[in-house]
């Protein structure tokens, strides 16, 4: 993740934390792909809204965020530690029944995506699943807040995920929405199972 993106979340953590109070509606279908009561890794928990829903659904959760300010706010919300961790620091092997990354990996530097996707594959147990969403585009850039986005196409994502490991299944969904900046945004999400 770029320094500008981290700086934005550090400087605006409190405001960002109040932006979203309901969990992502796509979280619940993803959790059905995961072993009941299993262990989930969340990459980029933000204020912990989705993390709270994961815990309330009966899963064990390791929540992470690259911003120490957001991790502190999420820790307070969840009543459990949220680890400050960058995506490329993931070292787990055969540990998680699910990896969940809502609008977080879209901030990863494009050149780092292949190794991050491989790390996610290794972190999953056999039969484990990942769900990750990305802003769609053809070249990286920044938004009006200076946050970096890889703005990647579904086709490029498909190629990179397939290179990360021998997935048993990969599916995509696309939709139109927005984000913190409220700008119209095309999104794509992957659900892949090991």
Task: Please report the beta strands in the chain, taking only residues with DSSP state E, as ranges in sequence order.
Answer: 39-43, 60-65, 83-84, 96-101, 124-135, 141-142, 148-149, 169-177, 185-193
Tell me the per-residue pLDDT of 113-122, one tens digit each, with 9 for 90 and over.
999 999 999 9
Question: Is residue 146 over pLDDT 80?
Answer: yes
Please state, in angstroms and rounded to a whole number, the distance separating the CA atoms of residues 114 and 99.
Answer: 16
Q: Residue 159: give its domain's CATH number.
A: 3.40.50.150
Name the average pLDDT for the chain: 94
pLDDT bin (cut points 50, 70, 90) of residue 179 is: confident
Query: Considering the entire predicted model, what is its pTM?
Result: 0.94
Q: How many domains does the chain have?
A: 1
The angle subtended at Cα 188 by Cα 183 and Cα 190, nearest 5°, is 150
3-class DSSP assignment, residue 59: coil
Please state, in angstroms and rounded to a whole number, the distance separating the CA atoms of residues 94 and 86.
Answer: 19
Please state, in angstroms and rounded to a whole number, the distance separating the CA atoms of residues 26 and 151.
Answer: 20
111 to each of 25, 68, 78, 191, how far by Cα in Å? 30, 24, 33, 21
Domain that holds residue 74: 3-19+26-193
Tell me the per-residue pLDDT of 37-82, one tens digit each, with 9 for 90 and over.
999 999 999 999 999 999 999 999 999 999 999 999 999 999 999 9
Please state, in angstroms and rounded to a whole number, the distance separating the CA atoms of residues 99 and 43.
Answer: 7
> What residues have CB less than 8 Å from 153, skipping those under 6 apart?
136, 137, 138
């Amino acid at each position: 993740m770029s320094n500008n993106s981290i700086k934005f979340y550090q400087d605006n953590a409190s405001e960002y934390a109040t932006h979203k109070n309901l969990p992502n509606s796509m979280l619940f279908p993803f959790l059905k792909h995961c072993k009941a009561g299993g262990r989930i890794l969340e990459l980029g928990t933000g204020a912990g809204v989705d993390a709270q829903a994961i815990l309330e659904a009966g899963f064990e959760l390791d929540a992470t965020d690259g911003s120490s300010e957001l991790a502190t706010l999420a820790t307070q919300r969840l009543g459990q530690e949220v680890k400050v961790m960058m995506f490329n620091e993931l070292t787990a092997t055969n540990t998680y029944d699910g990896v969940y990354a809502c609008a977080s990996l879209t901030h990863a530097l494009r050149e780092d995506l292949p190794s991050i996707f491989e790390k996610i594959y290794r972190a999953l147990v056999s039969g484990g699943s990942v769900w990750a969403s990305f802003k769609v585009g053809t070249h990286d850039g920044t938004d009006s807040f200076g946050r970096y986005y890889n703005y990647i196409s579904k086709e490029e994502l498909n190629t990179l995920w397939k290179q990360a490991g021998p997935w048993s299944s990969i599916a995509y969904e696309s939709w139109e929405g927005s984000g913190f900046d409220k700008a119209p945004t095309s999104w794509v999400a992957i659900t892949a199972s090991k």
